[in-house]
Structure 1
C-alpha cells in the first residue's frame, strides 16, 4: 500500500516536472511560426514588393509592401502568433482593394526572416518596420494595426512612436494574464519571460484607438480586450462583434466599419476627432 508521504512526493515531483516543462518550452507554446518563405510573387496579390529589412540587432526580416492610393494611409500591420505572411493574404486583399497601403513584416523566426521570436525581438522588428514605413510616408500617414499577438506588438510600438491611429483586433490585457487564465494551476506570473504587458503600455498611447473584438472569441476572451480598452486614452472606440470569433475581420460587415473609421481618422486635421462612446460603429 502506498503511503500518504510517498503519494505526496510523487505528486510533488510530477508538478515540478510540469512547471519545469512550462518554463523550458513556453516560447514554443507562445509562438508558432511557419519558417518556410513564400515569395510575394506567389501570394496572388498584384502590385506589391518584397523588402529586406535589417533590425538594430542585425536580424534580416522579410516584409511585404503595397503602396497606398493617393490620399490613403499606409497600414503598418502586425500579425498573430501562428503561420506566416501568406496566411494573411485574405486580410491583406481587403486593405489593398480599399486603396490602403500595407507594410507587413514577418517577425524574426517566421517565414524567411532570421532569428528566433522573443518579446524583445518582436519589438525590435516593429521598430524596424516602423522606420521603413516612416521613411516612405511619414508618421502622420501611418495606421498601426495589430491582431492578437500582433496587438501586443502594436500597443508597445504606439506607446513609443507617433502615428495617425491605432487599430487592435482581438487584443489582450497582457499575454501573462491570458496564460494565467489558461493555466491557473501554474505560477505563470513568475515563469513567463514574454508577458507583453499591454496594460502598462496602453496608457502611454496618444492617438485615436479602435478596438474590435468578437464576442465569441475562443482564444482571447472579449473581457480581456474590454479591460485593455478601458486603459486607453480618448478618443477611442470599441466595436463588439456579436458571434465574432478570433479572426474578427472575417465577420460580416466588420471590415467596412473599420475602413470607415480609418478613413475618418486619416482625413481629419488636428486636433483629433471628438471621442466616441463604447458600442457599435
Structure 2
C-alpha cells in the first residue's frame, strides 16, 4: 500500500510538471526584450526604423539599411532572446561595405505588438519579405536566420523567391532541441511551436549556407549537420571551431557569410 501511495504521488508530481510546462512553454521558448530602441540610439544611424502591418493585424518594427549600388539585401531574423538593439554592432559591421539590411523585430519584441508564436513569427517574416520584395528583386534578397530565426528563415525560404539562405546555428526542429534539454518530458508531443525545419528545407532550391560553432551548448553542432544533410544542393557547411552559440562573429562568421554572398 505504501508503495502504491508513492507511485501515485510520483505520477501526480510528474503530471503537474507536464501541465506547468505545457501551459508555460512559450515563456520558456521566447525571451524578448520589449524595449523599443531607435537604431541611431543603438549605434546604427544608417538604419531607418519602420512599422509594418502583418496579415493578422499586428504591427512589427523593421530596421532598413538601403544597399549601395546593386549590392544584395539581407533579410535578417534574430534568435529567441533580446531585441534588434542587442545586434546593432553586428548590423553596423555587416553593412559597412554597402550590403543592405532589413532586420525584423518579431511580435512581442522591441516595439512590435502581439505575443510570439510560430505562426505569428512566420506571418511577421512574410510582412518583412513583402516590404523587401517591393523594393528589391528576388535575385538580390538573401535571407539570414540566427538560432530560432533559422526556423523562421527556413519557413519563409520554402515559400518565397529569394537568392540565398544563410542559417546560423540551426536546428532540425525546435522540438528536437527542447527534447534534448527536457529529456524527461514528452516534448515532441507537448510542443506547440516546433519549427520543423527538417520538413521544410527540402523545398528550398537556392544556395544554402549553414554555419555552426563546434562548441555550441544551446543548439548542439550535430543538429546543424543533420539539417545540412537534408538540404538540397548547392549547399555549404562551415564549422566554426571553438565557436559557441552567440559569439560566432569572433570565429569568422561574417567573413564566411560575405564570401557566400559575393563569392558565388
* Alignment partner, residue 168 of structure 1: 167
Instruction: Determine helix, strand or coil for the equivalent of 1:217.
Output: coil
Write the deviation string for residues 15-55 of structure 1: whole angstroms up to 9, x where unpaired.
Answer: 01100011000000000011111112212112210011000
Structure 1 segments, 4+ long, off by >4 Å, are none
* Alignment partner, residue 128 of structure 2: 129
In terms of mean alpha carbon deviation, does 53-62 or 37-46 score higher? Answer: 37-46
- What pairs up with 1:64-79 in 2 under 5 angstroms? 64-79=63-78
* Alignment partner, residue 50 of structure 1: 49
**Which runs of no fewer than 5 residues in structure 1 stay unpaired?**
266-281
Instruction: Determine helix, strand or coil for the equivalent of 1:137.
Output: coil
Query: Following the alignment from structure 1 to structure 2, what is the Cα–Cα distance between the partners of residues 257 and 196?
Result: 25
Q: Are the counterparts in 2 of residues 61 and 105 from structure 1 also a CA contact under 8 Å?
A: yes
Write the deviation string for residues 35-79 of structure 1: whole angstroms up to 9, x where unpaired.
Answer: 111112212112210011000111001110001111210000000
Instruction: Determine helix, strand or coil for the equivalent of 1:160.
Output: coil
Q: Are the counterparts in 2 of residues 145 and 154 from structure 1 also a CA contact under 8 Å?
A: yes
Q: Are the counterparts in 2 of residues 91 and 249 from structure 1 also a CA contact under 8 Å?
A: no
Q: Are the counterparts in 1 of residues 213 and 248 from structure 2 also a CA contact under 8 Å?
A: no
Matched, 1:92 2:87: no
Instruction: Determine helix, strand or coil for the equivalent of 2:156.
Output: helix
Task: Report the Cα offset of residue 94 of structure 1.
Answer: 1.9
Query: Following the alignment from structure 2 to structure 1, what is the Cα–Cα distance between the partners of residues 183 and 165?
Result: 31
Write the deviation string for residues 156-207 of structure 1: whole angstroms up to 9, x where unpaired.
Answer: 0001111110000000000011111111110111111000000000000110
* Alignment partner, residue 193 of structure 2: 194
For the aligned residues, what is the CA RMSD? 1.1
**Which runs of no fewer than 5 residues in structure 2 stay unpaired?**
none
Instruction: Determine helix, strand or coil for the equivalent of 1:117.
Output: coil
Task: Report the Cα offset of residue 238 of structure 1.
Answer: 0.1
* Alignment partner, residue 19 of structure 1: 18
Query: Following the alignment from structure 1 to structure 2, what is the Cα–Cα distance between the partners of residues 115 and 252?
Result: 35
* Alignment partner, residue 271 of structure 1: none
- What pairs up with 1:112-191 in 2 under 5 angstroms? 112-191=111-190
Q: Are the counterparts in 2 of residues 119 and 194 from structure 1 also a CA contact under 8 Å?
A: yes
Q: Are the counterparts in 2 of residues 109 and 117 from structure 1 also a CA contact under 8 Å?
A: yes
May I ask how many residue pairs the two structures share in their alignment?
264
Q: Are the counterparts in 2 of residues 169 and 248 from structure 1 also a CA contact under 8 Å?
A: no
* Alignment partner, residue 83 of structure 1: 82
Task: Report the Cα offset of residue 248 of structure 1.
Answer: 4.5
Instruction: Determine helix, strand or coil for the equivalent of 1:42.
Output: helix
Q: Are the counterparts in 2 of residues 33 and 109 from structure 1 also a CA contact under 8 Å?
A: yes
In terms of mean alpha carbon deviation, does 94-103 or 171-180 score higher? Answer: 94-103
Query: Following the alignment from structure 1 to structure 2, what is the Cα–Cα distance between the partners of residues 234 and 126?
Result: 24
